[in-house]
A and B are shown apart, each in its own frame.
Chain A
């Protein structure tokens, strides 16, 4: 699993990247009450706002950690947004993206580097 400085994570299987927000981000948001995930077929560029996560207090953009084509948004989050709090780095995934540039993933932080980064923010 790799992480961005904006607290998204990516897990790659073949050319499909599953992406979501880190436990740190989910904890910081507090109770998630609404999630908007992208539709299949949508093309996203690394750094684009591609999803929205809302707590009781506020809406936050989620940025695409990699470029590619969305093959699936996690539709289950529409009716169960609290999954993002319960299992942010598992069942609470946001989308699966067919990646176009694997080097983008390699350039992201690994768990140890992300944990180190969290001590600085």
Chain B
């Protein structure tokens, strides 16, 4: 893909002014790093990192039938989701495969606000256009999306907008921030506390620069975003999960609401419920790679007899842990924590062990119960 073919976010000029190295990702010209992936990764774990995630898809699904129609293709219970809450879910095909993973919430009293992956958004929107029935209506939002993540994110944002301190993890709202109409949620893709803020495109650069004035905040590129989410055990669609993997295989059963499993009324429910009962043929696990080079996407996983049993779907160095980690798929018989395996990197087998994810503890902010 040539540069000319890449789309830009409303923050493109801001990235270039900051000296970012730009790469094509999900069809967009995006910052992969500013000062360096390792420094940015560590800064986010210790302070607050600011991310442009405007390449992601944002939409509203509205109308009387919005929730019922949306639920046909996801396994989460959005009917009982309270206003001001959002929930992670999976857009499923008829075979129970994951078309995309997404966040959907009720920031206002007008249907659902949904955020999907950049690389899948055109397909997702086309899917809903084709499949939503009744009066459920898709409206694609042409807005910027800014994430602030890290242990100091809450204090930074409270200095701008005190109301944000009252949010708990996965709370969301539509409100005026920085003088403009925003969707905000306390969530993210790093395992840290923080927020994702959807802002009008023409206000993005002003708000970005305003947040960056705080010395606790640095801009963070997609390179560190990837290493942070890997440490947090969060799958990347198109790599760790895809339209052939089910939520059970993907170790995402937490996204299957109890009521929805009982009703078995979502796309692919047959396969998914069968896998829940009988076990899947493969499952996503975390691996500690104990010697040699990082095991990356595509590296084969072998048992101790050398038989190939699966593949790494993403992996690399963990800056926080100072060793190599990976996630990949193995048959359930090899998925138990502590199982010794081999990963094959450039033809060389290296010792690996199945370990728990997240690799680095998540530090989401849970509000004390009132």
Contacts and interface: CB of A to CB of B under 8 A. Distances in A.
Interface of A: 30-31, 33-34, 36, 52, 54-59
B294 A54 contact: yes
Given A52-B346, A56-B223, A30 B296 contact: no
The size class of the interface chain B forms with chain A is 10 to 19
A30 B33 contact: yes
A59 B294 contact: yes
Given A56-B316, A56-B319, A57-B316, 19 more contacts: A30-B21, A30-B33, A30-B37, A31-B37, A33-B38, A33-B294, A33-B317, A34-B293, A34-B294, A34-B317, A54-B293, A54-B317, A55-B37, A56-B223, A56-B224, A56-B227, A57-B32, A59-B293, A59-B294
B300 interface: no
A31 B36 contact: yes
B36 A36 contact: no
Contacts of B39: 31
A52 B319 CA distance: 20
A36 B293 contact: yes
A108 to B, nearest CB: 27
A92 to B, nearest CB: 16
Given A56-B223, A56-B316, A57-B316, A31 B293 contact: no
Contact of B38 (A52, A54, A56): A56
Contacts of A58: 296
Interface of B: 21, 32-33, 36-39, 41, 223-224, 226-227, 293-294, 296, 316-317, 319, 346
Nearest to A36: B293
Contacts, number: 42
A100 B171 CA distance: 68
A57 B226 contact: yes
B30 to A, nearest CB: 13
Contacts of A52: 293, 346
8 contacts: A30-B223, A34-B294, A54-B317, A55-B37, A56-B38, A56-B223, A56-B316, A57-B37
Top 8 A-B pairs, shortest CB-CB distance: A31-B38, A56-B37, A33-B317, A34-B293, A31-B36, A57-B223, A31-B37, A56-B227
A30 B227 CA distance: 14
Interface centre among B21, B33, B316 (most CB of A within 10 A): B316
Contacts of A55: 37
Contacts of A34: 293-294, 317
A34 B317 CA distance: 9
Contacts of B346: 36, 52
Nearest to A58: B296
A70 B69 CA distance: 65
A30 B221 CA distance: 13
- Most A CB contacts (10 A, CB to CB) among B32, B224, B293, B319 go to B293
A59 to B, nearest CB: 7
A33 B226 CA distance: 15
